[in-house]
Structure 1
Amino acid sequence: MKEIIGGKIVVNSLIEEGVNTAFGLIGSAGMEIFDGLYDAKSIKFIGVRDERTGTHMADGYARASGKPGVFIAGQNGPGVTNLVTGLAQAKAALSPVVAIAGSLSSAHQYRDAFQEVDQTSLLSTVTKRSVLIPSTDRIAELMRDGFRTATTPKQGPVALNIPRDVLSKSITQTEDYIPKGRQFDFICGASATSIENAVKIVSKAKSPLILVGGGVKNGRQSKLVEKLATLLYAPVAMSPGHGDAVSCDFDLYAGQVGPRGNVVASNLMKKADVILAIGTRIGFNTTFYSYENINSNAKIIQVELDPLAIGRFFPVEIGIYADSGEFISSLIHALAGHHRSAEVFSWTSDFLEKRKHFLAERESFSSTSALIQPAQLYRSIRHLAPKDSAYTMDAGTLCLQATDNLNYAQPPSLFTPLDFGLVGFSYACGLGVKLACPDRTVISLMGDGGFGMTSSELGTAAQYQINSICIVMNNGCWGAEKAYQKDFFGKRYMGADVPNPPYDKLAELWGAKGYRASSIKEFERVFVDALSANAPAVIDVSVDPNALFSFRRDSFAHRAK
């Protein structure tokens, strides 16, 4: 028997959960945790400049690694309120982030104490679960429960608030206080009846489409999808933000659908007679909840681990509550001996021809303008970036244009804030992705406004030598909003223009590599240099400020003339 303080129990719990990287910002309310980390040689601690961006790092780390991302907010009050945006983003992405937050002493609660805020209630709105750990002897139990909650379907962030006195108190360590890891598997398969009914429908399809989303991507099930698509000879399309659920090198890869996808994949959704929707909610970004973006006569087979998502927005022929991989494996087995029909062959051959023309047209883009056009920039990135490249995106018009314009050859390769629409996400997320996948090239695309929000994390990148590349598409404005003001508000620009410092020089001041490009040839030259720099890098790219596009035209239909 020996005495152990609460902060050390937290660290022991992290070790037991297999955590080897933790992000955080130190603060007085969590000092016992950081002191415990000092001796935890198996955990690499990444100290960040802001709790919001640090949570984005943990989010990116979780999505890229498939393991929980851990963020430690050392300061109660403002240190925790800064977590809100990052945790809301993680919740929208179903990302298993575990946020551990220091809290004011138990005796000071409800006394309007210094930096007091009801952290547990506040974070409950942006997490899967928010918990106040009431006593030192329950830390191990509730840490274990928090990790289990974050990583079981449907995944999501968890907040664990720990008062100062709970962290500093010593207790006698017995077996009850030694944390034990989560020894469990969760596999939910489809019933034999569901598989039999699915076989009947897909076997009779004349124009089938496989639509996959985050469930397939997060489950690392791309090869299974490719095997099923080859068997059915059906195109594979992806929900927006998950264009990497299947490798772009796969012959039947169609790209992303919907108002923000490409025209070929989107037309497949509008014409398919059977849509096999696997691991996707068929939600907003895929359809805008409108039959303008999906065939109203299609028979939909929807497979989801979130039962509430099944048939939520569009009626389904069959709804199947199951793990995507388990379902696909069972369906492949049940389709043994399946032969494609002449109608299916014609449907998919037509798709392949249209996809070929679409890619050729994308490659042949030309412009008479001396200014860099977004399509030119994306083409250069496609040609020069290594096959293993992982991309992170921001919200905003330039990144939305980029999403289906890049190549995602090695799943997972695309990390976006689409469901939350967050500006200021990409760079910090990319740092987390790079730490999770140190041998891969990580490229973060941002607008100049979004990068200005998060550029202080250049200090984190330089300090820990996190060698990602950030391409700042600099058009001097909040592009999406300026596009709406241009198209729907008579060019009455208000707050749209953003003067910025030279970000290449700012990067150098922080200790990173800085580059500037005002022509496509300049960009290609400096991009090649950045790829081999073996250092954190920022490329400030001057993009045509008139290359604006209104994605949400539907929202302003009332103003259209």
Structure 2
Amino acid sequence: MRSGGQVIVDHLICNGVDKVFSVPGESFLGAMDAFYERSNEIKFINCRQEGSAAFMAAAYGRITGKPGVCFVTRGPGATNASIGVHVAAKDSVPMLLFVGQVATSSTHRDAFQEIDIPAMFKPLAKWSVQIDSADRLPEILSRATKISTSGRPGPVVISLPENVQREIVDAGDPVFQAPIIPSTSRVQVEQFFQLVGEAENPLIVLGSSTWSEDTCQQIADFAERSEIPVVASFRCQDRIDNDHPNYVGVLGVGTNPLLSKRIDDSDLLIMLGVELSEIVTEGFTKFTAPKMKQRLVHVHPDQAELGRIYQPDLGINSAIAGFAASISGMSLAPDVSRKTSIQELRRSYQEFTTPGECPGDVQIGKILHWLDSRLPTDTFISCGAGNYTHWVLRFLQHRKFGTQLAPLGAVMGYSVPAAIAASLQYPDRMAISFSGDGCFLMNAQDLATAKKYSTNPVFIVINNGMYGAIRMHQERAFPTRTIGCDLENPDFVAYAEAFGIAGFRVSKTSQFQEAFEQAAANSTPSLIELVVSEQAISPAFTLDELVERSIAAQKG
């Protein structure tokens, strides 16, 4: 006989979960007591805000492939945590959010902090459900885990009334839930090679869903044998070693103009796990709908994604791992070699990712270029949202799968908790968090969590004193009429030191290397503030140049 809380914890341990992220709440005391009993097998990480805890769970899911688990209380806890559910959905990572709920005897009575959790999360999650009887816990937990990890992985939200957690039930042993994975048929493989054989200028685009390290290598090998250039979609750069000779850049924000033209001129696009969203399609303007001018092979684990906007010539409902395995060792060499074209694109990519000068005494690009040569290949790099990410995404290369922690939804506040989760899971690997000054203060309070659990990320804050991305958009749409973007910041070094964390301020490029080496040598977290010019708003233009262009465009 076990309590409902014990059934939940047993299920999580059985399914390989070794950490849960939470802000404790009185609505799930029954579950917390069960965690206390098994604390030598599953670690309970108490965070300082539910949104941060949910971000950590989403990052854990992305890093491990196992469900990232988060426990929060009803009402304010659930609403705070919803941002992490959104990230898990957009990033296609498995996640289980457990929300403590009022007792079943009080539901639908406007009880204290009561929210209809399944209704609230229905648009965000793959499934949202309330469990009203402990007898059904084994069944629904198994289903929730299966849904979260199968097909296109994503978040499931489970509402847990207080009495269900404490109810004693005669439950059987927990069951490991292997995900249900769609696969590629032999006929589809034949059709794929027919389309590749007919193409003169094919191109592969790598997306977010259902990859593994072996999968990345299999696709890279296929591309090299078949002489096909490879592009990463927005924030999916760790799907291929960026030093690979066939890797030629990113499709999304700030695409290299030569690469953009090459995509336009291609006659076959092979989209692997790509969600054809607003960013990847450049506001749905890059490709014609419902039929692209290029032939389209679209491989995706979610059947609903195939033909959602663009109708493929060959749609394959398959996990990318299965598809990669089915073409592994096979290739189709072109009649006319494409190596020269790939080499041209590769040279253009290398030039595009070589930083130039930017305004101010701190050269962001040069610092990142130095870091790129300094960091181990298995370093985790996290970032959130803001114009500072344009520098990070352009000038830092990824050489190992699973090292890029950057939400596809471009969400502020993600970077700090993601780096903490990475450092918790892999304490022997380096984790670098990049944030703008606005992004950082969204979840800076969890420096306390980083310190408490003896993690050692390096938090780099790029401080330009404003919400840079919004300032950029304002200056484009309404030049010289900016409002609400200037920031009054704390002393970031003193802020870090208040948490017992070493802080360094860099106001000149030459100061960075020494500061970083000191930070990297610490066994505890460190923070480095980069004081940058507001003029350095983008690698492509200065703030004044942007304003001038916008005014000229309005004058016609």
Amino acid at match of 2:303: P
Give the whole-Å Cα distance in 2 for the aligned partners of 1:343 and 1:220.
27
Amino acid at match of 2:308: R
| Counterpart pick for 2:92 among 63, 85, 94 | 94
1:138 aligns with 2:126: no
8 Å Cα contact 1:212-1:238 kept in structure 2: yes
Residue 262 of structure 1, CA deviation: 3.2
8 Å Cα contact 1:149-1:155 kept in structure 2: yes
Residue 220 of structure 1, CA deviation: 5.3
77-86 or 255-264: which moved more? Answer: 255-264
Residue 458 of structure 1, CA deviation: 0.5
8 Å Cα contact 2:212-2:321 kept in structure 1: no
Alpha-carbon displacement from aligned partner over 1:144-190 (angstroms, at most 9, x marks no partner): 2211111111211111111111112223x2xx4432221x3534332
Change (3 A) 1:306 1:558: farther
Give the whole-Å Cα distance in 2 for the aligned partners of 1:357 and 1:162.
54
1:340 aligns with 2:371: no
8 Å Cα contact 1:398-1:473 kept in structure 2: yes
1:530 aligns with 2:526: no
Give the whole-Å Cα distance in 1 for the aligned partners of 2:426 and 2:35.
23
Mapping of residues 215-230 of structure 1, within 5 Å:
215=209, 217=211, 221-230=215-224
Residue 288 of structure 1, CA deviation: 2.1
Give the whole-Å Cα distance in 2 for the aligned partners of 1:220 and 1:66.
14
Give the whole-Å Cα distance in 1 for the aligned partners of 2:425 and 2:158.
23
Residue 414 of structure 1, CA deviation: 0.9
Q: Report the equivalent of 1:208.
A: 202
Give the whole-Å Cα distance in 1 for the aligned partners of 2:283 and 2:482.
30
Residue 224 of structure 1, CA deviation: 0.6
Change (3 A) 1:548 1:60: same
Residue 468 of structure 1, CA deviation: 1.1
Give the whole-Å Cα distance in 2 for the aligned partners of 1:100 and 1:59.
13
5+ residue gaps, structure 2, are 541-545
Mapping of residues 480-491 of structure 1, within 5 Å:
480-491=469-480
Residue 216 of structure 1, CA deviation: 5.5
Change (3 A) 1:177 1:325: closer
Amino acid at match of 1:181: F
Q: Report the equivalent of 1:23.
A: 21
Q: Report the equivalent of 2:160.
A: 162
What is the SS of the residue equivalent to 1:244?
helix
Alpha-carbon displacement from aligned partner over 1:269-306 (angstroms, at most 9, x marks no partner): 22222221111123222112445469953222111111
Q: Report the equivalent of 2:445.
A: 456
Alpha-carbon displacement from aligned partner over 1:504-545 (angstroms, at most 9, x marks no partner): 211111122211111111122211211221211111111111
8 Å Cα contact 2:287-2:293 kept in structure 1: no
8 Å Cα contact 1:392-1:426 kept in structure 2: yes
Change (3 A) 1:461 1:202: same
Residue 397 of structure 1, CA deviation: 1.1
Q: Report the equivalent of 2:65.
A: 66
Residue 332 of structure 1, CA deviation: 4.2
Q: Report the equivalent of 1:384.
A: 374
Q: Report the equivalent of 2:267.
A: 273
Mapping of residues 98-497 of structure 1, within 5 Å:
98-171=96-169, 173=170, 176-182=171-177, 184=178, 186-215=180-209, 217=211, 221-292=215-286, 296-333=292-329, 335=331, 338-359=332-353, 362-363=354-355, 365-367=356-358, 369-418=359-408, 420-497=409-486
Residue 473 of structure 1, CA deviation: 0.5
Change (3 A) 1:370 1:288: closer
Residue 259 of structure 1, CA deviation: 3.5
Q: Structure 2 length as normaliser, TM-score?
A: 0.92
8 Å Cα contact 2:245-2:343 kept in structure 1: no
Q: Report the equivalent of 2:543.
A: none
Amino acid at match of 2:509: I
Q: Report the equivalent of 1:501.
A: 490
Give the whole-Å Cα distance in 1 for the aligned partners of 2:442 and 2:272.
36
RMSD: 2.4
Give the whole-Å Cα distance in 1 for the aligned partners of 2:453 and 2:66.
21
Give the whole-Å Cα distance in 1 for the aligned partners of 2:184 and 2:49.
44
Amino acid at match of 1:320: I
Q: Report the equivalent of 1:53.
A: 52
8 Å Cα contact 2:211-2:320 kept in structure 1: no
8 Å Cα contact 1:29-1:102 kept in structure 2: yes
Give the whole-Å Cα distance in 2 for the aligned partners of 1:492 and 1:313.
36
Change (3 A) 1:492 1:146: same
Give the whole-Å Cα distance in 1 for the aligned partners of 2:212 and 2:224.
21
Equivalent pairs: percent with the same residue? Answer: 26
Q: Structure 1 length as normaliser, TM-score?
A: 0.91
Q: Report the equivalent of 1:545.
A: 534
8 Å Cα contact 1:480-1:549 kept in structure 2: no
Give the whole-Å Cα distance in 1 for the aligned partners of 2:131 and 2:201.
54
Give the whole-Å Cα distance in 1 for the aligned partners of 2:333 and 2:105.
71
8 Å Cα contact 2:134-2:165 kept in structure 1: yes
Amino acid at match of 2:504: Y
Change (3 A) 1:541 1:112: same
Change (3 A) 1:216 1:66: closer
Amino acid at match of 1:141: E
What is the SS of the residue equivalent to 2:280?
helix
Give the whole-Å Cα distance in 1 for the aligned partners of 2:83 and 2:350.
41
5+ residue gaps, structure 1, are none
